[in-house]
Amino acid sequence: MEAIAEQLFFTLFNTKVPRVLLKADNPDFTIVIYNEAYEKVTYLDGRDITGISLWEAFDPANAGGDGAKLLMDALVTASKNNKPVHMPSFKYDIPSGHPGINVQSWWQLEIIPVSGPGRAASYLLTTINNVTDQIENSTAILDSKLREETLNEQLEAINKELGNKNEVLQATNDELNTLNEKLTRSENDFRMLNAELEERVIARTQSLKESYAQQQALTEELVTSTEEITASNEELLRINEELRISKQQKEEFLFIASHELRTPLTTIKAYNQLMQLTKDEIKRDRLVIKTAESVERLEKLINNLLDLSKISESKMLYEKEPFDFKNLVTECVENANDRYPTHEIVLEQVAEMTYTGDRFRLEQVIQNLLSNAVKYSPEANKVLVNSWVEQYSLIVSVRDFGIGIAASDKDKLFERYFRVDHPTLRIEGLGLGLFISSEILKEHNGICWIESEIGKGSVFYFRLPVGN
């Protein structure tokens, strides 16, 4: 069991999400282990900080602002209360990997206490998220708004200048009226004054043209700034939505995974205790069988987690060789009949052919479809299996007579973590089986789909391309 727990821990720990495990030895908070994503995001560049205090690894004197105090308070709170702590964005500058140079950084943290034998927090599992880019984008938006305010002030100054020039024009008109009164006394004076007026009008017109051009340029610049602000807002909304969905999926998956893994472990422990207490050999044999079933269920959950990790990191290996497809389907049906005594798994027809692919992975797909058919038809007692060749395609179908799938859920069935909700039926599993199956079929250039009706059951299909 310890080997399984250790393997599960490293499967969940060594992901692309930066994580570090701290010892809850306030005030040092010694660094126990961290993954590659953490090493990359904190610019360690090969520097080993295992076994030293968090503050020795990242000097609070270089953090800037009150980031060091906020972080210390959060770690102390999580350790003291033995409850998760979620830290909002805070500033904590760290070394860049080059001597004497720090990187201005903003972070979001999730601190989860890990209880020891005495139920007090022994370790703190910390997941970090570098949100420096988002913070800098927000700063850019504020700069754009400030620039917009500056442009508005400049535009107001220009309008004020235009008003002053209008007052000058009004004064010129007054002067013109005075000249018109003198026109009756001297025609020569009128001509001189008229020439002077024409020159002033030309200058004024030129001045107005230049002012209008300036106003037009400022208007265009203001429009550009508005478009930039709108684009930045949309990008921030998109990033926030992605972060929200990612966090929600992570929390839902961790809750389901912890529950599903704890159930078989608790069952195994109970059966072992009963075996130690009973002297009845027949009863003990039954307990051994049930313990083996729980171990098999636990092994299936762990294998699904390992396959998910391999698919996420594109490390799933496939060994494609020719094999007897009829033999594969027949073995799967026989094994299912042994494993699920409550249902009769009927093989109605099977394609006789040699197919080139990964036999182990395709067996995993068929077993998953049979397992789902049994789980989602608790009131029925039969599952029908067929396979045939049609237009250069090998098709397999698994029909159950269970609860059926709602139309709104059909498109989500093959998504990661999706589980069908039912008001009275509790379905075990992590919501990974159909997602892993669809990824295996994609690797074989195949597809999968479903036909279903509520209350009457479902038919799961998958199609694999074959040659002539």
pLDDT of the chain, 468 residues: tens digit per residue: 344 445 556 666 778 899 999 999 999 999 999 998 898 888 888 889 899 999 998 889 888 888 889 999 999 999 999 999 999 989 998 887 777 788 888 999 999 998 866 677 889 999 999 888 888 888 777 777 777 677 777 777 777 877 777 777 788 777 777 776 776 777 776 678 778 888 888 888 888 888 788 888 888 888 887 888 888 888 888 888 767 765 665 555 554 454 445 555 665 666 577 677 777 777 677 666 656 655 665 565 566 555 555 556 566 778 899 999 999 999 999 988 988 899 999 999 999 999 999 998 899 899 999 998 999 899 999 999 999 999 889 999 999 999 888 888 777 777 776 666 655 555 565 567 788 888 889 989 999 999 999 989 999 999 999 975
Task: Give me the pLDDT at residue 1, please.
Answer: 35
**Cα–Cα separations (whole angstroms), residue 320 to 330, 356, 467:** 20, 6, 15
- Spatial distance between the Cα atoms of 395 and 380, rounded to a whole number of angstroms: 25
Displacement of CA 443 from its chain's centroid (Å): 23
The CATH T-level fold of domain 131-316 is: Helix Hairpins (1.10.287)
Task: Give me the pLDDT at residue 121, please.
Answer: 86
Given a contact cutoff of 8 angstroms between Cβ atoms, the answer to whether 432 and 305 are in contact is yes
User: How crowded is the C-beta side of 366, counted as CA atoms within 13 Å?
Assistant: 29
**Cα–Cα separations (whole angstroms), residue 330 to 41, 53, 160, 341, 354:** 50, 59, 90, 17, 14
Task: Give me the pLDDT at residue 345, please.
Answer: 95
- Spatial distance between the Cα atoms of 372 and 304, rounded to a whole number of angstroms: 14
* Domain spans, the chain: 16-130, 131-316, 321-465
Task: Give me the pLDDT at residue 4, please.
Answer: 42
Question: Both tokens of residue 333?
Answer: 């049906």
**Where would I find the beta strands (DSSP E) of 302-419?**
321-324, 344-349, 354-357, 382-389, 393-399
- What pTM value is reported for the model? 0.42
What lies within 8 Å, CB to CB, of 218 at 6+ separation is 151, 154, 155, 158
In this structure, whether the domain defined by 321-465 belongs to CATH 3.30.565.10 is answered with: yes
Task: Give me the pLDDT at residue 311, please.
Answer: 54
Task: Give me the pLDDT at residue 406, please.
Answer: 85
Q: Which of 110-131 are b and which e, b meaning 16 or more Cβ less than 10 Å from the residue's Cβ?
A: bbbbeeeeeeebbbbbbbbbbb
Task: Give me the pLDDT at residue 124, please.
Answer: 93
The CATH T-level fold of domain 16-130 is: Beta-Lactamase (3.30.450)
Task: Give me the pLDDT at residue 169, please.
Answer: 74
- Spatial distance between the Cα atoms of 238 and 149, rounded to a whole number of angstroms: 26
Given a contact cutoff of 8 angstroms between Cβ atoms, the answer to whether 108 and 89 are in contact is yes
- Spatial distance between the Cα atoms of 377 and 22, rounded to a whole number of angstroms: 46
Given a contact cutoff of 8 angstroms between Cβ atoms, the answer to whether 398 and 385 are in contact is yes
